[in-house]
């Protein structure tokens, strides 16, 4: 797994478990067509580097040569400030849903403002898993024929990147926060908050009687935090609050449940 560092604003394309080298090459070609050069691959199914990807890229070799490999989606997006997930299926998450055009305008604003923005694309067979989708702020859905909505990976990337390229002509103002020198929280900072909160909920016995629903409840909790644009200062404050509340508990014991009326 390759580590990442926070850098100035950029658009990052993340392919999760891509199966076919030619499709990775097609995505790289589309990226370079619209001036996007940062590609990340999460557990590609075929060996990497892939000669078929290079052949399909038709000259976009620089994108493929600089592509980073990751073991998990969380690691691949850890340094990003905003994350979008492409999906054609209905999801049971309360998240904003945008067309590529609307999402592109938002993304351009964030990138112009200095944020690092990522777009998740799933594998050719089944798309993104729920655990990948839950990481995103916003879902991107192409308004296709509901009876025949499946897009090739390269096609999907080209559609979104075309809209991103067109959005350069009308750059909106991205959300920026200057008070106190703070900035939007990265994915890694949010993960730290989630891990701390979920550990304390486990310790408090919150999930004891609903163990079978733990995964869906955890996803809902994470979604509730990600619907807003938490700042780095917000995350530090919330982690301090959790620590203070947990500190009131007797070490090694679980907090007693309040009496029922």
pTM of the full structure: 0.70
Domain CATH number, residue 206 = 1.10.8
Q: How far is CA 244 from the centre of its chain?
A: 30
Tell me if 113 is assigned to some domain: yes
116 lies in the same domain as 164: yes
Determine the Cα–Cα distance for residues 125 and 23; give it in Å rounded to an integer: 12
225-247 tens-digit pLDDT: 777 678 888 888 888 888 888 87
40 lies in the same domain as 149: yes
154 lies in the same domain as 189: no
- pLDDT given for residue 3 in this prediction: 38
The domain boundary, picked from 125, 151, 169, lies at: 169
100 lies in the same domain as 200: no
Tell me if 67 is assigned to some domain: yes
The domain boundary, picked from 169, 202, 232, lies at: 169
31 lies in the same domain as 82: yes
Tell me if 156 is assigned to some domain: yes
- pLDDT given for residue 115 in this prediction: 92
Tell me if 53 is assigned to some domain: yes
95 lies in the same domain as 207: no
133 lies in the same domain as 222: no
73-117 tens-digit pLDDT: 999 999 999 999 999 877 666 788 999 999 999 999 999 989 999
114 lies in the same domain as 72: yes
Tell me if 261 is assigned to some domain: no
Domain CATH number, residue 31 = 3.40.1280.10
- pLDDT given for residue 118 in this prediction: 97
Q: Please give the tally of structural domains in the chain.
A: 2
Tell me if 1 is assigned to some domain: no
231 lies in the same domain as 206: yes
In the chain, which residues have pLDDT < 70? 1-8, 91-93, 170-181, 211-212, 228, 249-261
Tell me if 4 is assigned to some domain: no
158 lies in the same domain as 46: yes
**What are residue 194's phi and psi, to 5 degrees?**
-60, -45
Tell me if 120 is assigned to some domain: yes
188 lies in the same domain as 163: no
The domain boundary, picked from 137, 169, 201, lies at: 169
Determine the Cα–Cα distance for residues 5 and 150; give it in Å rounded to an integer: 34
**What is the domain extent for residue 157?**
10-169
- pLDDT given for residue 56 in this prediction: 97
35 lies in the same domain as 140: yes
């Amino acid at each position: 797994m390759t580590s990442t560092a926070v850098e100035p604003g950029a658009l990052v394309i993340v392919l999760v478990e891509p199966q076919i080298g030619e499709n990775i090459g097609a995505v790289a070609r589309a990226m370079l067509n619209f001036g996007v050069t940062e590609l990340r691959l999460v557990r590609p199914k075929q060996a990497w580097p892939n000669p078929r990807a290079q052949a399909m890229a038709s000259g976009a070799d620089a994108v493929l040569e600089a592509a980073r490999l990751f073991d998990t989606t969380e690691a691949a997006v850890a340094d990003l400030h905003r994350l979008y997930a492409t999906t054609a299926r209905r999801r049971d998450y309360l998240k904003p849903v945008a067309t590529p055009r609307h999402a592109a305008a938002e993304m351009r604003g964030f990138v112009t403002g200095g944020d690092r923005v990522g777009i998740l694309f799933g594998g050719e067979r089944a798309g993104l898993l729920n655990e990948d989708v839950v990481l995103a702020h916003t879902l991107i859905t192409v308004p296709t024929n509901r009876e025949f909505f499946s897009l090739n990976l390269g096609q999907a990337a080209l559609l979104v990147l075309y809209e991103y390229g067109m959005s350069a002509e009308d750059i909106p103002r991205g959300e920026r926060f200057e008070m106190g020198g703070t900035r939007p929280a990265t994915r890694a900072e949010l993960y730290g908050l989630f891990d701390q909160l979920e550990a304390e909920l486990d310790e408090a016995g919150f999930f004891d009687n609903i163990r079978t629903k733990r995964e869906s409840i955890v996803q809902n909790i994470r979604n509730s935090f990600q619907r807003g644009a938490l700042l780095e200062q917000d995350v530090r404050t919330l982690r301090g609050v959790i620590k203070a509340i947990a500190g009131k508990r007797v070490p090694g014991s679980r907090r007693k449940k309040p009496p029922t009326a």
